[in-house]
Amino acid sequence: MITLRAAELVRADLPLVRPFRTSFGVQELREAVLVRVVCDVEGVEAEGWGECVAGSDPFYSAEWGLGAWVLLREVLLPMLAEEPLTTIEDTPAAMSEVRGNRMAKAAAEMAITDAALRARGVSLKAYLGGERDRVECGVSIGIMDSPDDLVAAVGTYLGDGYTRIKCKIEPEADVAFIAAVRETFPDIALTVDANAAYTLADADLLARLDAFDLDYIEQPLAEEELMEHAALARLIETPICLDETIVSAKSAEDAIALGACEVINIKQGRVGGLAEASWTHDVCVEHEIPVWCGGMLETGLGRAANLALASLPGFTMPGDTSPSSRYFHEDITAPFEMAPDGTIAVPTGPGLGVAPLPGIMARVVAEREKVEL
Catalytic residues: 168, 267
Separation of alpha carbons 49 and 341, rounded Å: 30
Q: Do β-strands 164-168 and 190-193 pair in parallel, antiparallel, or remain unpaired?
A: parallel
Q: Which helix (H) or strand (E) holds 364?
A: helix 358-364
